[in-house]
Amino acid sequence: MWQLIAMALALPVVAPAPAPAPPPSVDFSVGGVALTMPLPPGYCIPTGRDAAVAQLVAAGDKGAVTHATLKQCDGSIGAGVNDYTLIKTPTSMLMPVVDRPTLIKELGAEFDNPVAVADMNTGDAGADLSQVLGTKVEIKGLIKPLGHDDVCAYMGGQVNVTGAGISYLQPTGVCITSVGGKVVTIARYGKDLAPAAIATLLRAARAIALSMRTVRAK
């Protein structure tokens, strides 16, 4: 017995492997409800000049509150087509409480209404951005409803952005959802102009929606 104890004491002590660090998260609040989500792999919160650009873009959208801008960690937000994500809530939906099934049902019905669809594509997004940037910017194109599932109501397409001596097409895929009773839109912007690329953007937006959680009060 004593020999066994001595042998056990002589064995090297192996420290347990440290637990992997949780991924960086994005925290924001919608009408008093605190939400959090992990940063998607390869994406970061803008800093420095990119943060200033993101702030200007957010200020150009008068109809929504931008909670977060995510950019590729190894890239920057420059002039022209970009790969980035915007997390927003329409200002009219900051305070209402609506659960996800109800929101999807209501949006599904509206997406089948030709008048509602037409209204979604009126309005001049470029005018607000022009005012903020101090130079004329035109944003034209059709972001149209693309169906829904139990997580998102989807919109997507390409918009043509023209101004400040540049012109480019920006592919866009949007998920409209509810988390913790609050409406959140996840807009994924990519660089690939192929029609199938919109589906990729929609899948990425859906994955972000599924990663969002409410934060319990301590």
Instruction: Specify which residues 140 forms β-bridges with.
Output: 160
Greater confidence (80 vs 72) lies with 72
Question: In whole numbers, what is the pLDDT of the chain averaged over residues?
Answer: 79
Report the SS3 class of residue 186.
strand
Average pLDDT over residues 169-191: 93
Token code pair at residue 204 = 């990425």
- Give the 3-state secondary structure of 78-122: CCCCCCEEEEEEEHHHCCCCCCHHHHHHHHHHHHCCHHHHHHHCC
Three-class SS of residue 139? strand
Q: Which of 109-118, 142-151, 157-166 has the lowest mean pLDDT?
A: 109-118
pLDDT-wise least confident of 11-20, 65-74, 83-92, 188-197: 11-20
Evaluate the CA torsion angle 128, 131, 132, 133 in order and state its sign: positive
* Partner residues linked to 173 by β-bridges: 156, 188
The pLDDT of 111-140, averaged and rounded, is 54
pTM, two decimals, is: 0.79
Q: Please tell me the predicted confidence (pLDDT) of residue 9.
A: 40
Max CA pair span of the chain: 87
**What pLDDT shows up at residue 115?**
60
Share of the chain above pLDDT 70, in %: 72
Query: Is it the case that residue 8 has pLDDT exceeding 60?
Result: no
Least confident piece of the model among 23-27, 76-80, 134-138: 134-138
Residue 69 has pLDDT above 50, yes or no: yes
| pLDDT surpasses 70 at 92 | yes
Tell me the pLDDT tens digit for each residue of 93-122. Answer: 999 999 999 999 998 877 776 665 555 544
Rounded distance between C-alpha atoms, residue 215 and residue 28, angstroms:
10
Q: Which residues pair with 141 in a beta bridge?
A: 159
